[in-house]
Structure 1
Amino acid sequence: MGIPHLLVIPFPILGHVNPLMQLSETLAKHGCKITFVNTEFCGHKQIITTGSGHDKLKRLGINFVTIPDGLSEDERSDPMKALYLLKTKMPPLLPKLIEDVNALNVDNKITSMLVTLNMGWALEVANKFGIKGAFLFTASATTMAACDCIPTLIQDGTIDSYGVPMKKQEIQLSPNMPLLDSTEVAWWAKLGKMFFTHIVEEMETLKIADWCLLNTTCDLEPGALGTSPRSLPIGPLMESDTNVSSFWEEDTTCLDWLDQQPPQSVVYVSFGSLAMLEPNQFRELALGLDLLNMPFLWVVRPSNDNKGNNNEYPHDFHGSKGKIVGWAPQRKILNHPAIACFISHCGWNSTMEGLCSGVPFLCWPFFTDQFLDKAYICNVWKVGLGLDKDENGLILRGEIKKKVEQLIRDEGIKARSLKLKERTMNNIVEGGPSSKNLQKFIHWAK
């Protein structure tokens, strides 16, 4: 058997790039050659791919290439429009990249392709070259089960043909899964008909893949994983505690600051790479952190656009007990003994990182599958609490203070968090279920 050579193509947002990079590093350490494709889709946001982390990846046999996306700046600025245009403008550009990579690797041509959601079109191109394919689903297995169940949900009248729930009710996607709120399962409805249609098409396209890899474990979502025979849980993807790909430079001074704080005393606040707070909500969060009278570490991301829409801190915000950074090394922070709890948007990568650190969650979901992840954190695993909004849809400073204090006093949540951490991490030890699944995938690649 020759050395497997995988062409790896993530959808160009950090929530897809980083887990695929973690998986690429794991595969490279197991003797696979990786060509990692970055697209120009990010426009003015340039993925930072420099420094010692990347030098290490190159030594492992991971090469980086770039492909044009065929989009104008205007087209990139509308995410939904861009999603559709990528599917039409990029497929003609991929064959040349495959030919160029193969020309440089005459004795070790591309043998398989690995993509994330929204890049199913690339598997169709690979098929024409006789290259086999797999995909990494970067959300939970439950989210994938929900997407797979769309035709059934329409048929039984749970959602309409636009993806909108017919009524608020509890539904069960399969007999072994927990009951879930129909509005949480049908998260796609909030993103409109265009996105719903895309999801339906994408799930159909991805059927050509031999494997669907998932950053989850058998014991976190047993019922959801039972719904598809090609689903392969290989999580948690924890190859490295450093994300070498980012749109922003990580501020590592927060690690020195954490070293000065007492054990389990710091509230960590981060909402990932996409979510934005409205000015009134930003104000309530700032003043809520002040009210806590506890040290806090708050990630306030640089503005995502050129419109200068950075939120302003309220004049009565002191922040004297806290540290505010633009972007941070999240895994290292969550594993730091000073952290008491994690105020999170409940994106799946952050959820897995929190679970693997044994840190209790305060859930603040914004969109897409984050509401479904919150349901698991609070109702299924019981390792966190939710925040309630007022009649105007705001999470008020008093609610933030009350819930943080309730969370850090809850010994049951703390104990369950540590137990779940141990169970989750046991999946990737040698001989663990996820390790065995990874070997199965590598055997397929070879």
Structure 2
Amino acid sequence: MQPRAASEMSQESAAAAATGMAPAPAKAQPHVLLVSSPFQSHVNPLLRLGRRLAGKGLSVTFTTALRDGIRVFDDGDGGGGGVRVERLRGGGMWEPDDPRLRVPGDMARHVEAAGPAALEELIRREAEAGRPVACVVANAFVSWAVRVAGDVGLPCAILWIQSCAVLSVYYHYVYSLAAFPSGDEADSSGAVTIPGLPELDMDELRPLLIYTSDQEMWRQMLVGDLGSMTEKAPWVFVNTFDELEHEAVAGLRKHIPLIPVGPLVEPDDGGVDDDDVHGCTAWLDAQPRRSVVFVAFGSLVDIGHDEVVEIAEGLASTGRPFLWVLRDGNRALLPKDALIDACGGDRGKVVPWCEQRRVLAHAAVGCFVTHCGWNSTAEALAAGVLMVASPRWSDQRINTRFVVDVYRVGVRAPATPLTREALRLSVEEVTAGPEAEAMAARAAILGEKARAAVGGGGSSDRGVQAFVDRITSGGAEP
């Protein structure tokens, strides 16, 4: 739904005044409530989807069990871009500064227990304030929000924040649609064939939740999410785009109502970065084009003392300028003298946080050393930046397989944890190796396709618009 032009509304008001009648009140925008689990890697893509929905005329509110350290990029109107933020509270929900929220397992169990009552209360408050909720959009690991939506008679959508390939692996495992090794076979070498995906070996599959205990909390949440996708949610958004994962999307769409809406990356408008408190942009501006090695491992990966030292020495050995995001807890592991030596004066910059998508979009960045979490991978693909992958757990090894062997826009570091020599060789391979130029060309093409997908009329934009049209028309089925 697009806002009417000011001239159209003024003509309507003038006509009403001429007849002595008051103009009809404007129809309220349909209100969508976004519900996220309180992890930064879950918050970011859902907020970005919310901004796109708001940009197409919907009223959007974002909620989560906010805890200290979670950023919602508040710029005066809540989450920014037309998105309001309301903290999930009541129902016994812990306060944001409660230390128990710092323990992921304790936090997740508490939110699952207290969240339903708090969400019902929020939906009631919104209705009383004249903002009745028309639809709930929940991301992964909050399948309880889908149940609450059903209980109060609201349609619900789900946002899957990992790749479509990983979602397909989980779906085919849970519903026994492919032959997965089990028992002793799972401890040996083997491979799994799934429609639309390359053959995946056990080293890529073992880190996934399918090979954890049936009693594992996260696994139970995943099974709940998959059940909601097949039985309760008429829309399943995926943070990908059709041109990137066409075969995986086509294969899984036979089973669940997939809508690619990615990459969920904020566009870089070239404006001033108010969050750049560490001066990253100014530093990057002073570096040659495609020269900088950018290193970041997300908000959850912790690296030990030995690896911190190895990365510092490896970066120094590349002879290239680098920007390294090293969280305070990990930074304390690096001796001050070693950090100074690694930085080599102005050649290196170490910061506790940066606006990653802006850094990746900067012309000075030549490669990205990453754990290959899907948010980071999608941001790098959208920016057309080559990657050095150092995967750790969960979906990161499958993402690495696609980056290296399918998209062919990066290399996998030959050692995990990273060693100085593995880092040096990998950076050299993607920046100056015999395939570096071809990889850069492929990365640029993927970046163009990603931007086209989310641009007006692109494949992902059409998916978002179709959802908006259905909600605006009052429908609950895609």
Band of TM-score, shorter chain: 0.7 to 0.9
8 Å CA contact retained: 1:35, 1:63 = yes
Report the counterpart of residue 359 of structure 1 in structure 2.
Answer: 385
Secondary structure of the residue aligned to 2:329 is coil
8 Å CA contact retained: 1:343, 1:363 = yes
Distance 1:339 1:406, change over 3 A: same
Distance 1:420 1:437, change over 3 A: same
Distance 1:180 1:156, change over 3 A: closer
Query: Are residues 1:443 and 2:469 paired?
Result: yes
Output the CA distance in 2 between the equivalents of 1:198 and 1:287.
41
Output the CA distance in 2 between the equivalents of 1:216 and 1:268.
23
Distance 1:371 1:378, change over 3 A: same
Query: Are residues 1:233 and 2:255 paired?
Result: no
1:202 corresponds, among 212, 217, 225, to 225
8 Å CA contact retained: 2:388, 2:426 = yes
Q: Per-residue displacement from partner, 1:87-123 (whole Å, max 9, x unpaired)?
A: 2222122211111111112xx4100000100011011
Secondary structure of the residue aligned to 1:55 is coil
1:170 corresponds, among 165, 169, 191, to 191
Output the CA distance in 2 between the equivalents of 1:376 and 1:169.
18
Pairing 1:370-385 to 2, within 5 Å after superposition: 370-385=396-411
Q: How far is 1:238 from its partner?
A: 3.2
Output the CA distance in 2 between the equivalents of 1:435 and 1:155.
32
Secondary structure of the residue aligned to 1:90 is helix
Task: Give 1:202's aligned amino acid.
Answer: D
Output the CA distance in 1 between the equivalents of 2:414 and 2:210.
19
Greater CA drift, 82-91 or 109-118 = 82-91
Query: Are residues 1:280 and 2:296 paired?
Result: no
Secondary structure of the residue aligned to 1:220 is coil
RMSD after superposition: 2.6
Report the counterpart of residue 123 of structure 1 in structure 2.
Answer: 146
8 Å CA contact retained: 1:146, 1:186 = no
Q: Per-residue displacement from partner, 1:414-443 (whole Å, max 9, x unpaired)?
A: 111111111222212222211211111112
Output the CA distance in 1 between the equivalents of 2:249 and 2:76.
33
Secondary structure of the residue aligned to 2:133 is coil
Query: Are residues 1:408 and 2:431 paired?
Result: yes
Output the CA distance in 1 between the equivalents of 2:276 and 2:62.
22
8 Å CA contact retained: 1:172, 1:180 = yes
8 Å CA contact retained: 1:5, 1:34 = yes
Query: Are residues 1:11 and 2:37 paired?
Result: yes
Runs (5+) with no aligned partner, structure 2:
1-26, 473-478
Query: Are residues 1:47 and 2:68 paired?
Result: no
Q: Number of matched residues? A: 424
Q: How far is 1:9 from its partner?
A: 0.9
Output the CA distance in 2 between the equivalents of 1:368 and 1:425.
27
8 Å CA contact retained: 2:43, 2:72 = no
8 Å CA contact retained: 1:217, 1:233 = yes
Q: Per-residue displacement from partner, 1:17-54 (whole Å, max 9, x unpaired)?
A: 111111111111111001111314x3x4353654xx34
Report the counterpart of residue 11 of structure 2 in structure 1.
Answer: none
Distance 1:66 1:362, change over 3 A: same
Q: How far is 1:325 from its partner?
A: 1.0
Output the CA distance in 2 between the equivalents of 1:13 and 1:46.
7
Query: Are residues 1:88 and 2:113 paired?
Result: yes
Secondary structure of the residue aligned to 1:341 is strand
Distance 1:153 1:364, change over 3 A: farther
Pairing 1:255-404 to 2, within 5 Å after superposition: 255-303=281-329, 310-313=332-335, 315-317=337-339, 318=341, 319-320=343-344, 321-389=347-415, 394-404=417-427
Task: Give 1:231's aligned amino acid.
Answer: L
Pairing 1:62-211 to 2, within 5 Å after superposition: 62-68=83-89, 70-71=93-94, 73=98, 75-105=100-130, 108-152=131-175, 156-160=179-183, 165-174=186-195, 176-189=196-209, 192-193=212-213, 194=216, 195-207=218-230, 208-211=232-235
Task: Give 1:373's aligned amino acid.
Answer: N
Q: How far is 1:302 from its partner?
A: 2.7
Runs (5+) with no aligned partner, structure 1:
243-247
Task: Give 2:143's aligned amino acid.
Answer: G
Task: Give 1:184's aligned amino acid.
Answer: E
